[in-house]
Amino acid sequence: MARTLGVDYGTRRVGFAVSDEMAIVAVPLFIREVTSVAEAVRVVRAVAAEKGAACVVVGIPLNMDGSKGPMALQVEAFVALLREGGGLEIATWDERLSTGLVERMLVAADVSRARRKEVRDKLAAQVILQGYLDSRSAGSAWEDGEG
């Protein structure tokens, strides 16, 4: 079974996580600095190829009421560009609380502000990917059906 890549997209940084081959556990990878959406697309495609991922799951930061704010619209534009090249299954996942959850965990663990910045996005990618993997194994209706 191919791996799944989790992506926490940001306009300056992109966090990555990858699943094990059985698609059970998400493991944080790294963060890449990017200067444009086109560069982010290239980096995601390269990481997917390097890790042998057939599917990329991108977190969509919806508002608490489920509506789409400016960042969700930017992520959707990124996803549209990522889909253009074909070859990869692309799914989206509601990440509305992932970064906040990661931030609270790091603060509770007394991680310094500088270190939190270094790891936050890759841990958010792990939370996004793990939620997606858990829903797939449980047959949950929470996934968005895109792909």
Q: How far is CA 112 from the centre of its chain?
A: 23
Q: What is the largest CA-CA distance in the chain?
A: 42
For residue 122, the SS3 value is helix
CATH superfamily of 3-138: YqgF/RNase H-like domain (3.30.420.140)
Work out the angle at residue 130's Cα, subtended by the Cα atoms of residues 29 and 21, and round it to the nearest 5 degrees.
70
What pTM did the predictor assign? 0.84
* β-bridge mates for residue 69, sequence order: none
- Do 137 and 38 contact (CB within 8 A), yes or no? no
Banded pLDDT at 102 (limits 50, 70, 90): confident
- Whose structure tokens read 């996942």? 93
pLDDT over 80 (residue 55): yes
Banded pLDDT at 76 (limits 50, 70, 90): very high
Q: How far is 128 from 132, CA to CA, in rounded Å?
A: 6
pLDDT digits (tens, 9 = 90+) for 115-146: 777 777 888 898 999 989 988 876 544 444 44
Banded pLDDT at 58 (limits 50, 70, 90): very high
Beta-sheet strand order (sheet of 13-19): 26-33, 13-19, 3-9, 53-60, 89-94
In the chain, where are the structural domains located?
3-138
* β-bridge mates for residue 27, sequence order: 18
**Average pLDDT score over residue span 52-81:** 92
| pLDDT reported for residue 145 | 44
| pLDDT reported for residue 8 | 94
Q: Of 122, 126, 105, which is closest to residue 14 (Cα–Cα)? A: 122
